Amino acid sequence: MLGLVEDRINGSRRRSRRHDTDDDYNIEVLLGVDDSVVQFHGKEHVQKYLLTLMNIVNEIYHDESLGAHINVVLVRIILLSYGKSMSLIEIGNPSQSLENVCHWAFLQRKSDTSQAESHDHAIFLTRQDFGPSGMQGYAPVTGMCHPVRSCTLNHEDGFSSAFVVAHETGHVLGMEHDGQGNRCGDEVRMGSIMAPLVQAAFHRFHWSRCSQQELNRYLHSYDCLRNDPFERDWPALPQLPGIHYSMNEQCRFDFGLGYMMCTAFRTYDPCKQLWCSHPDNPYFCKTKKGPPLDGTMCAPGKHCFKGHCIWLTPDILKRDGNWGAWSKFGSCSRTCGTGVKFRTRQCDNPHPTNGGRSCVGLSYEFQLCNTQDCPNALDDFREEQCRQWDLYFEHGNAQHHWLPHEHKEAKERCHLYCQSKETGEVVSMKRMVHDGTHCSYKDPYSLCVRGDCLKCFC
C-alpha cells in the first residue's frame, strides 16, 4: 500500500496562485527524499532542513550571472520508506539508480490527480553511495519537461549539497561541464557551478558564460516552465538560513555524526571558513572550503554574514519586497457593452532594499463590469474612439472623418488605428484603445486590457 511506501510532507492546504512576469520561468519541483536522509536528520527536523536547502537552490538560480529569471518552486516533498529507498538505489551503479529514480518520479506524476502538486522536475536526495567514491550527483543532459528524463539524483551531505542540486538541474536544463566541450575551463577555479567537480561555495559561486549560453539555447523550448505555478504555503523560514543552525550542526551535516566545529584554530575567524573535527581526533580538522551559512551565530550577539562575524543591523540585511493591500476597484471603463475596472497594489510592505527581490506578480487585477448591452446595439466602441478625433486630429494639414481600422498584426490590435473616410489612409493615433474594446471584430471573446489582448469570455 502507498502509505507503507512513502510519507508526504504537506504545508497548509491553502494554496496561492502566483502571477509571474512574462520572462519568468518556474521549475515546479517534486523533492524525493530517501530513508537515509530522513534517518540522518530525524523525521521531526527533516522538513525544515529540506526547505532551507531548497531555498538556497532557489537563490543560486536567482544569481544575475545566469542571465535568466528562473524560480525553483517546491510543490511537493515525498519521504520514502526504507524498503522503497533500498529498491531504488543500487550501490555503485549510478546509471541504474538514476533510471529507477526517474521511473519512480514518473509514476508520481501519473498517479497525481492534484493539479496544484503536478511537477516539472524531480530532485532525489540520498546519503547512499550510488556511484564511485566522490560522485556527487547524476543527471541526463537536457530533458527538462520530459516526463521521464526531467530528474536528478543527488548525494546529500549538508547545505553545500545545494550547489550539487543546482549543478545537476543545470544539466537537465542543457548545461555542460565548464571546460569540457566549451571554452569556460578558466572559470572553474573561480567557483563556477557547472565545474566538473562542484567546488562552488556560499562566498564564491557563479554561472559561467558557457552555462548562460547553453541555457539560452534550450530555455525557450521548455514550455512547462512558462505556466503560473501554485506555491504551497510552506512554513516560513528566517531570511538568513544559518539562524536555525549552529556551526556544530553544520559540521555534522557536512561530515557525519560526532563532528563539531574545530577549536584548534583559536585565533581564526570562524566565519571565513567552516572547519570541523571529531572529538576522537580534535586536532585533525576538515573543511569543505566554504564559510558557514549566513546567520550562523559566531559570538554572543554576533552572526556570520558574508564571511565575517558581525553585529547584524537592518541596514546591511537584504530585504525582499512584499505586496501591500489591494485598493478598491475603480470605476468601469464603459457604461454598457462590457467594460473593465481595476484594483491595484504597491510593492511597499516592505519595499525591497539592499538588493532584495522585487514583488513577484502583477500590480493590478481587473474585473468585467456593465456587461449589459448598450441601448443602441449598433454602437461600435472602436468607432466611437476614432470618431472623437474628427475635430482634433489633423493629418496632412486637413481634418478627416475617422473610421475604425483593425490592424492586420495581432500585437497591434489594442493600439488605436483609424482610417480616413476621405482618403482611405490608415493612421496610428499613438495611443491604446480604451479598456474593454474588442481586440478584433472576428473574435467576440477577447478584450483589450491595458494594451494587452486577453481572452475574457468562454
Q: Digits of tens for pLDDT over the chain (458 positions)?
A: 223 334 545 443 333 334 445 578 999 999 999 999 999 999 999 999 999 999 999 999 999 999 999 999 999 999 999 999 999 999 999 999 999 999 999 999 855 545 567 899 999 999 999 988 888 999 998 999 999 999 999 999 999 999 999 999 999 999 999 999 889 999 999 999 999 998 898 888 999 999 999 999 999 999 999 887 766 778 888 889 999 999 999 999 999 999 999 988 766 789 999 999 999 999 999 999 899 999 999 999 999 998 999 998 877 777 788 899 999 999 999 999 899 999 999 999 988 877 677 888 888 899 999 999 888 766 789 999 999 999 888 888 899 999 999 999 999 999 999 999 999 999 999 999 999 999 999 999 999 999 999 988 76
Q: Residue 206 has what pLDDT?
A: 95
CA dihedral of residues 300, 301, 303, 309 (deg, nearest 10): -70
- The reply to whether 171 sits in an annotated binding site is yes
- Tell how far CA 44 is from the center of its chain: 27
pLDDT for the residue numbered 233: 79
Does 28 carry a binding-site annotation? yes
Identify the active-site residue in 117, 156, 168, 231.
168
For the chain, give every domain's residue range: 24-225, 241-311, 325-369, 381-455
CA distance to 52, 238, 396, per residue, from 235 (Å): 11, 10, 65
CA dihedral 107, 110, 111, 115 (to 10 degrees): 130
DSSP annotation of 242 reads G
pLDDT score, position 230: 64
Q: What are phi and psi of 312, to 5 degrees?
A: -85, 125
Name the burial class of residue 176, with classes exposed (0-12), middle (13-18) and buried (19+) by CB atoms within 10 angstroms of its CB.
middle
Q: Is 224 within any annotated ligand binding site?
A: yes
Count of helices and strands (H, E) across the chain: 9, 22
pLDDT of residue 273: 92
* Grid cell locating 32: 524525493
**For domain 24-225, which CATH number applies: 3.40.390.10, 3.30.390.30, 3.30.110.40, 3.65.10.10?**
3.40.390.10
The CATH number of the structural domain formed by 325-369 is 2.20.100.10
Q: What is the rounded distance in angstroms from the CA atom of residue 279 to the CA atom of residue 287?
A: 15
- Residue among 101, 120, 99 nearest 109 (CA): 120
Residue 398 is placed in which grid cell?
486637413
For residue 320, say whether it is annotated as part of any ligand binding site: no
Catalytic, 168? Answer yes
CATH architecture of 241-311: 3-Layer(aba) Sandwich (3.40)
Cβ(32)–Cβ(75) below 8 Å = no
